[in-house]
């Protein structure tokens, strides 16, 4: 039975009010939003705050605004066409081009899984002293159990589980703010766009890759379609799109707040403390300055982040393979295959935080391959009909794409030339 069939909301016994019906339509964006608070975000945001204070707040604010636009366009494409973004690409690309496109998308999926599994492994190590390799294996196994909820109980139940984990992540990463003093003046100063050498460009690209997540762009179109099904143009589709807009805004306000909160925590409580450019070091510094309870809560949030986000990443990879290669393999097989690179990284002793940051750079480089086709498709009147992007939305979407590409070019130039 398909996810679309299994995930639909059952008709209520009593008529719902207008607000009740709207609330019942929320959920897919909150699942996609897990990708925006994964362990890669933790590494990038803590590193940026610990090393450069409030300097790069503007990157998170800008990236989150971009994410709201992009995720809504992805969901709109799925609702209007009844097809996911990978399926649309698979239908339009020639066989050779499809395979090449899939290779870069698969590289992105692997980079995603590396970040998420490593994050879960670090959390288990911090909480229970479990070796990183074993922790990565446990993270992969638990993520498979989470995915089985979707297969057995349907998308709606899966959404409730993921939203619960998002709540744990939010509490875990923001609790420390209640015990530290954030400089409002410095935080406002961080809203001014600027860099301070090539390393800040690398971090900005990492933060962007961790915020505007390409696999969430691919997946959201499928989540919205599978949850609501295809709707003919008319009042029902209009209502679904309005609810989806609120779904996206609400989910990404939460995710954006968590990301900004992490940077503020690092900038206010961890800056200047040795070793705080790693997750383990940041955890130790949090324990030293804010107490063991806050440190435990932070580690629990990190564990929830790793477990939930690796499940979403695996689902996204499955949808990408299905859409581009017209093949769907069992999630267990895919879980095992994509887990291997992360376990290799943990097994050979690569610095976990560095691996997390670099994985986000890979994601940043893959973003244009997801955004550019999305903008083109949602701006195509023949495809989207009355729901085609307005001139303003189209312009904003192309500006977003241009900013991302420009930042990536600057990243490559400054990194390989060593320019400051």
pTM: 0.87
- Residue 4, in any domain of the structure: no
pLDDT in tens, 351-397: 887 787 777 677 778 888 999 999 999 999 999 999 999 999 999 99
Alpha-carbon distance of 73 to 85, in angstroms, equals 10
CA distance 311 to 22: 27
Q: What is the pLDDT of residue 143?
A: 87
Contact 343, 136 (CB under 8 A): yes
Task: Count how many domains the chain has.
Answer: 1
Counting as low any pLDDT under 70, the low residues of the chain are 1-24, 209-210, 277, 360, 411-412, 414-420
Tokens read off for 378: 């949602």
* CB contact at 8 A, 136 and 342: yes
Q: What is the pLDDT of residue 154?
A: 75
Torsional sign, CA 235, 249, 115, 112: positive
The reply to whether 409 falls in a domain is yes
CA distance 296 to 280: 12
Does residue 56 sit in helix, strand or coil? coil
**Domain of 69?**
30-417
- The whole-number pLDDT of residue 153 equals 76
8 A C-beta contact, residue 370 and residue 216: no
pLDDT of residue 411: 66
Within 13 A of 363's CA, how many CA atoms are on the CB side?
37
pLDDT 10s digits, 299-349: 999 999 999 988 888 888 889 999 999 888 877 788 888 888 889 988 888
* Domain membership flag for residue 178: yes
User: Which pLDDT score is estimated for 171?
Assistant: 94
The answer for residues whose C-beta is within 8 angstroms of residue 189's C-beta and 6 or more apart is 54
Residue 299: exposure state from Cβ atoms within 10 A (0-12, 13-18, ≥19): buried
Structural domain contains residue 103 = yes
User: Tell me, what CATH number does 196's domain have?
Assistant: 1.20.1740.10
Residue 9 placed within a domain: no
In a domain, 286, yes or no: yes
**Does residue 328 lie in a domain region?**
yes
Measured distance CA(81)–CA(389) in Å, rounded:
14
**Angle value at C-alpha 305, between 325 and 282, nearest 5 degrees:** 130
Q: Evaluate whether residue 211 is within a structural domain.
A: yes
| Pair 236, 56: CB distance under 8 Å | no
Per DSSP, the three-state class of 385 is helix
Tell me how far the alpha carbon of residue 50 is from its chain's centroid: 22
Contact call for residues 280 and 122 (beta carbons, < 8 A): yes
Give the CA dihedral 361, 365, 366, 368, nearest 10 degrees: 140
C-beta of residue 111 within 8 angstroms of C-beta of residue 103: no
How far apart, in whole angstroms, are the C-alpha atoms of residue 8 and residue 231? 13
């Amino acid at each position: 039975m398909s996810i679309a069939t299994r995930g639909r909301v059952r008709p209520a016994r009593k008529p719902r009010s207008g607000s009740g019906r709207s609330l019942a339509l929320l959920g897919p964006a909150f699942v996609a939003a897990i990708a925006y608070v994964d362990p890669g975000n933790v590494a990038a945001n803590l590193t940026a705050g610990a090393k450069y204070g409030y300097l790069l707040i503007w990157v998170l604010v800008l990236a989150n605004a971009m994410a709201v636009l992009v995720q809504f366009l992805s969901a709109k494409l799925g609702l209007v066409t009844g097809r996911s973004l990978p399926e649309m690409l698979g239908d339009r690309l020639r066989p050779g081009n499809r395979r090449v496109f899939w290779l870069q998308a698969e590289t992105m999926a692997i980079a995603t899984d590396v970040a998420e599994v490593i994050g879960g492994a670090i959390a288990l190590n911090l909480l229970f002293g479990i070796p990183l390799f074993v922790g990565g294996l446990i993270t992969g196994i638990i993520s498979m159990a989470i995915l089985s909820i979707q297969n057995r109980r349907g998308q709606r139940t899966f959404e409730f589980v993921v939203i619960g984990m998002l709540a744990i992540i939010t509490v875990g990463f923001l609790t420390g703010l209640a015990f530290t003093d954030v400089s409002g003046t410095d935080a406002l100063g961080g809203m001014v766009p600027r860099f301070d050498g090539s390393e800040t460009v690398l971090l900005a690209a990492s933060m962007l890759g961790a915020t505007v997540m390409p696999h969430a762009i691919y997946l959201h179109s499928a989540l919205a379609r599978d949850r609501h099904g295809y709707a003919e143009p008319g009042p029902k589709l209009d209502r679904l799109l309005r609810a989806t807009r609120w779904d996206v805004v609400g989910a990404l306000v939460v995710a954006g707040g968590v990301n900004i909160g992490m940077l503020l925590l690092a900038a206010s409580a961890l800056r200047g403390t040795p070793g705080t450019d790693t997750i383990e070091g940041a955890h130790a510094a949090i324990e030293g300055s804010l107490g063991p309870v806050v440190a435990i809560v932070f580690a629990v949030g990190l564990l929830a982040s790793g477990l939930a986000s690796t499940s979403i990443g695996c689902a996204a990879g499955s949808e990408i393979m299905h859409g581009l290669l017209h093949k769907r393999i069992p999630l267990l097989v895919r879980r095992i295959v994509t887990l291997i690179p992360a376990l290799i990284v943990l097994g050979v002793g690569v610095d976990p935080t560095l691996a997390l940051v670099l994985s986000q750079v890979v994601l940043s480089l893959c973003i244009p391959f997801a955004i550019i086709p999305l903008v083109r498709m949602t701006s195509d009147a023949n495809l989207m009909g009355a729901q085609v992007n307005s001139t303003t939305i189209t312009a904003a979407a192309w500006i977003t794409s241009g900013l991302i590409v420009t930042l990536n070019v600057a990243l490559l130039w400054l990194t390989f030339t060593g320019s400051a």
